[in-house]
C-alpha cells in the first residue's frame, strides 16, 4: 500500500473515533459534566498509569478471544450474535471444573483441561443454531440471540442449583485458589491468558488470510452460491465455523475466570458480546487491527469504570460512545464512497 493510502486508511479510522468523542462530549455537557475532565481522567486511568495499563491489558484477554471468535464467523458470513450465552456458560462450567481438576492433575494440565472444557461448552452451545442453519437455512442471527438469552439464564441456574459453593452466602461457584490460577507475567498483574488470547487472534488471522481452510470460509462468506458451485462442503463448513467461533468465545470466558475472578457469582454478566462486535467491524474483520481496537476499548472500559466511581458518570456512557463510533464510521465510509464515485465519474 502506498504511504498515501495508509494515511487515508488511518484517517478513515481516526475520524469516526474523534467525531464520536466530540458528539459524546455534547452529551456529557448536557448532563452537566465537563467532557475534558472526563476524557482526561479516563485515558490517564486506563492507559497512562502503570496499574491502569496492566488492568487494561488484562481486560483485553477475554475481549481478544471473543474478537477472534467473531472474526472466524463474520468472515465466513455467519452472524454469531450469541456471544454472551456462549461466554457465560463456558465461564460457569469452567469455574466449576477447574477447582476439581486441580486436585487430580498438575496445575498446568488442569488449567489446560479447564480451557478445553470451556471451549467445548462454548462450541456445544452453537450446535443448534449451526444445525438449523446448515439443514434448513434458518437465519442464525435470531437463533444465536435466543440461545444467548437461554445461556445467560441457564448459567445462573447452574450456579444456583448445580455448582453452588455451599460455604458462601452469595450464590457462586467454588473458588479456584489464587496460587492455582493462570500464572502472572513477570512482576505484573497481567496473567498468562493475555498470551493465549494474543496467540489465538494471531493464529486466526493467519488461518483466515493464509490457509486453504481460511480461503474456503471466506468464499462461503463472500458468495455462498459460488461456494456451492465450487463444490465446497457447505454444511460441514457451517458446523466448523460455528464450533470454532463459539469455542474461542468460550475460551474467553475461561481466561477471565482462570486468570482474574476464580469464581462466577450469580447474575454476573459483563455483556461483552454486543461491545466486541463493533470493534471487529471497525477493524474490518482484520485480526491485527482488532488487537489495537480491543486495547483501545479496554482502556476506555477500565477508565470508564473508574470514572463512574470518581466523576459520577455511569459506565453506560461507554456504550453510547461505541455506538457513536459505529454510526460515524458509517457516515465517513459513505462520504468516502461518494467522493470515490464522483472521482471516477469525472
Partner 1 sequence: MEALFTATFLTALLYGVVTAGLPLLLAGLGEQISEKAGVLNIGIEGMMLAGAYAGFSAALATQSLWLGFIAGALAGIGVALLMALFCIRYGMNQIVIGIALTLGVEGLTALLHHFQFARTRPSLGRAPDFSLPWLSDIPVIGPALFTHNPLVYLGLALVPLLAWLFRRSAIGLNLQAAGDKPGALDASGVSVAMTRTGAVLSTGALAGLGGAYMSEVGAGLFVPYMTGGAGFIGIVLAMLARGRPLWVLYGALLFGVSLALTTALQVGGFNIPTDVVQMLPFLMVMLVLVIFARHSVLPPALGLPYVRGER
Contact call for residue 38 and partner 1 (CB under 8 A):
no
Pick from 189, 270, 323, 336 the residue near partner 1 by CB under 8 A. Answer: 323
Q: Are 276 and 74 in contact, with CB atoms under 8 Å apart?
A: no
How far apart, in Å, do the first and last CA atoms of the chain sit? Answer: 24
Nearer to partner 1, 81 or 237 (CB): 81
Burial of 83 (0-12, 13-18, 19+ CB in 10 A): buried
User: Which three cell numbers, joined as nine digits, stand for 220?
Assistant: 462461503
| CB-nearer residue toward partner 1: 7 or 338 | 338
Under rule CB under 8 A, residue 26 binds partner 1: no
121 forms part of the interface with partner 1 (CB under 8 A): no
248, exposed or middle or buried, with CB in 10 Å at 0-12, 13-18, 19+? buried
321 belongs to the binding site for partner 1 (CB under 8 A): yes
Q: Enumerate the β-bridge partners of residue 172.
A: 265
d(CA 277, CA 294): 10
Instruction: Count residues near partner 1 (CB under 8 A).
Output: 46
Rounded Cα distance between 96 and 173, Å, is 6
Q: Are 307 and 42 in contact (CB under 8 A)?
A: yes
Per CB under 8 A, the segment of 89-97, 102-110, 195-203, 312-320 that binds partner 1 is 312-320
> Among 11, 29, 199, 331, which residue interacts with partner 1 (rule: CB under 8 A)?
331
* 34, 153, 235, 339: which one binds partner 1 (CB under 8 A): 153
Which range of residues in 143-151, 176-184, 212-220, 254-262 is near partner 1 by CB under 8 A? 143-151
97 near partner 1, rule: CB under 8 A: no
Neighbours of 163 (CB within 10 A): 22
Q: Residue 130, interface with partner 1 (CB under 8 A)?
A: no
| Nearer CB in complex with partner 1: 135/210 | 135
Do 52 and 302 touch, CB atoms closer than 8 A? yes
Among positions 253-292, residues that touch partner 1 (CB under 8 A) are 274-275, 277-278, 281
Tell whether residue 154 is a contact of partner 1 (CB under 8 A). Answer: yes
- The nearer residue to partner 1, 236 or 312, going by C-beta atoms, is 312
Residue 120: DSSP 8-state:
H
Query: In angstroms, rounded to a whole number, what is the distance separating the alpha carbons of residues 295 and 63?
Result: 9
Exposed, middle or buried, 245 (CB in 10 Å: 0-12/13-18/19+)? Answer: buried
Q: How near is the Cβ of 320 to partner 1 at its closest, in Å?
A: 3
Nearest CA among 19, 37, 51 for reference residue 312: 37
We find the least distance from the C-beta atom of residue 38 to partner 1, in angstroms, to be 12
| Residues in contact with partner 1, shown as a per-residue x/- string from 66 to 85 under the rule CB under 8 A | -------------x-x----
Question: Smallest gap, in angstroms, from Cβ of residue 25 to partner 1?
Answer: 14
* H helical segments located in 31-165: 35-46, 50-75, 83-102, 107-124, 127-136, 140-157
CB 291 → partner 1: shortest distance, Å?
Answer: 20
Which residues form the interface with partner 1 (CB under 8 A)?
A: 27, 31, 79, 81, 128, 132, 135-136, 138-139, 141-143, 145-147, 149-150, 153-154, 156-157, 160-161, 274-275, 277-278, 281, 313-314, 316-324, 326-327, 330-331, 333-334
Amino acid at each position: 500500500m502506498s504511504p498515501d493510502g495508509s494515511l487515508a486508511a488511518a484517517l478513515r479510522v481516526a475520524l469516526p473515533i474523534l467525531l464520536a468523542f466530540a458528539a459524546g462530549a455534547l452529551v456529557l455537557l448536557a448532563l452537566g459534566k465537563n467532557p475534558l475532565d472526563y476524557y482526561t481522567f479516563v485515558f490517564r486511568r486506563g492507559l497512562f498509569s502503570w496499574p491502569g495499563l496492566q488492568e487494561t491489558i488484562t481486560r483485553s484477554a477475554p475481549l481478544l478471544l471473543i474478537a477472534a471468535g467473531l472474526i472466524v464467523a463474520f468472515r465466513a458470513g455467519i452472524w454469531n450474535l450469541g456471544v454472551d450465552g456462549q461466554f457465560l456458560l463456558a465461564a460457569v462450567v469452567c469455574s466449576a471444573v477447574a477447582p476439581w481438576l486441580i486436585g487430580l492433575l498438575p496445575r498446568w494440565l488442569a488449567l489446560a483441561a479447564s480451557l478445553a472444557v470451556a471451549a467445548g461448552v462454548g462450541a456445544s452451545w452453537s450446535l443448534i443454531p449451526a444445525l438449523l442453519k446448515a439443514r434448513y437455512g434458518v437465519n442464525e442471527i435470531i437463533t444465536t440471540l435466543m440461545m444467548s438469552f437461554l445461556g445467560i439464564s441457564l448459567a445462573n441456574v447452574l450456579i444456583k442449583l448445580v455448582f453452588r459453593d455451599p460455604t458462601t452466602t452469595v450464590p457462586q461457584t467454588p473458588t479456584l485458589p489464587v496460587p492455582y490460577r493462570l500464572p502472572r507475567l513477570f512482576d505484573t498483574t497481567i496473567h498468562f491468558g493475555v498470551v493465549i488470547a494474543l496467540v489465538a487472534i494471531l493464529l486466526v488471522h493467519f488461518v483466515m488470510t493464509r490457509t486453504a481452510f481460511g480461503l474456503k470460509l471466506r468464499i462461503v462468506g463472500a458468495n455462498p452460491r459460488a461456494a456451492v458451485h465450487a463444490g465446497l462442503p457447505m454444511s460441514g463448513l457451517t458446523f466448523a465455523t460455528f464450533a470454532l467461533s463459539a469455542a474461542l468465545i468460550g475460551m474467553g470466558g475461561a481466561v477471565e475466570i482462570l486468570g482474574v475472578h476464580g469464581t462466577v457469582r450469580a447474575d454476573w454478566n459483563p455483556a461483552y458480546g454486543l461491545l466486541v462486535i463493533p470493534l471487529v467491524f471497525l477493524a474490518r474483520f482484520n485480526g491485527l487491527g482488532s488487537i489495537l481496537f480491543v486495547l483501545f476499548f479496554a482502556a476506555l472500559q477500565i477508565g470508564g469504570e473508574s470514572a463512574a466511581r470518581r466523576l459520577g458518570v455511569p459506565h453506560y456512557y461507554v456504550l453510547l460512545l461505541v455506538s457513536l463510533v459505529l454510526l460515524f464510521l458509517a457516515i465517513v465510509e459513505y462520504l468516502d464512497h461518494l467522493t470515490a464515485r464522483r472521482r471516477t465519474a469525472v
